[in-house]
Amino acid sequence: MRLFFILPRVPYPTEKGDKLRAFHQIKQLSKHHEIILCALNDGDLHENAIPVLKKYVKAIHVIPISKISIAFNLLKTLFSGKPLQVGYFYNKSSAAKIQSLINEYKPDHLFCQLIRVAEYVKGIPIPKTLDYQDVFSKGIERRLATAPFYLKPFLKIEYNRLLRYEHDAFDAFDNKIIISAPDRDLIPHPGRGEIVVVANGVDTGFFSPIDKVKDYDLVFTGNMGYIPPILKAPNSW
């Protein structure tokens, strides 16, 4: 099967959770399927990104999105009713490029990571999967509790938009996956039970038990720069 991946970031280097998850999804799926990778990029491309990813994909297309384009589209999004999470990554030129690539490669299935890129494939008559990964609306709701008063009105608007968008995205995709059952149960759609939980794993080829005196009972690592939607259970990390 030919799979067309659409990602909001180039999945290398794997220093962020979404990139790490996408990288290993591609790595594993490439064992049985042909992967076409299309990734948006709002920064500098790592010098090793293309060589590393080429080991697992048939073709790579990186679509740059400039800071000017991001600012312009965020402004447009304020009046569109869509979440800023979507507006940041969406623009018409990227949409035209993605549509052109889909026409060229004629994939059997489309795979979108996060609702950030869902807008690019809405209405395309090809079976598609959405990896919700996280529940953005819940993350914003948690921020509302501690945000300064002057940010609360904007966060409230984003929260309501995310609720609608996460609901509508459900109906736009044939298949939906997410990291954990607690996340799944927070998706604002009555059919949330259909979402398949695909938990993050551990690379046992890299990490393995060692015979060493224990210095710590627990080491917590990760991106501390944002508030996660929920506090996940240990077996869902």
Looking up tokens 């919700």, which residue turns up?
A: 132
**In this prediction, what percent of the chain has a pLDDT beyond 90?**
83
Segment 79-95, tens digit of pLDDT = 999 999 999 999 999 99
Write out the two tokens for 58: 């048939």
Q: What is the pLDDT of residue 228?
A: 63
pLDDT bin (cut points 50, 70, 90) of residue 183 is very high
- Are the C-beta atoms of residues 128 and 30 closer than 8 Å to each other? no
Identify whether the C-beta of residue 114 lies closer than 8 Å to the C-beta of residue 9. no
- pLDDT for the residue numbered 208: 83
**Where does the chain have alpha helices with state H?**
17-29, 49-53, 67-77, 84-87, 92-105, 136-146, 152-172, 181-184
Domain count, the chain: 1
Q: Report the interhelical angle of 136-146 vs 152-172 (nearest 10°).
A: 170
**Domain enclosing residue 123, as ranges:** 2-236
Q: Which pLDDT value is given to residue 201? A: 85
Does residue 147 register a pLDDT over 80?
A: yes
Residue indicated by tokens 């990139």: 19
Confidence of residue 209 (pLDDT cuts 50, 70, 90): confident
Average pLDDT over residues 148-165: 97
- How are beta strands 109-113 and 59-64 bridged, if at all? unpaired
Instruction: CATH number of the domain at 222, please.
Output: 3.40.50.11720
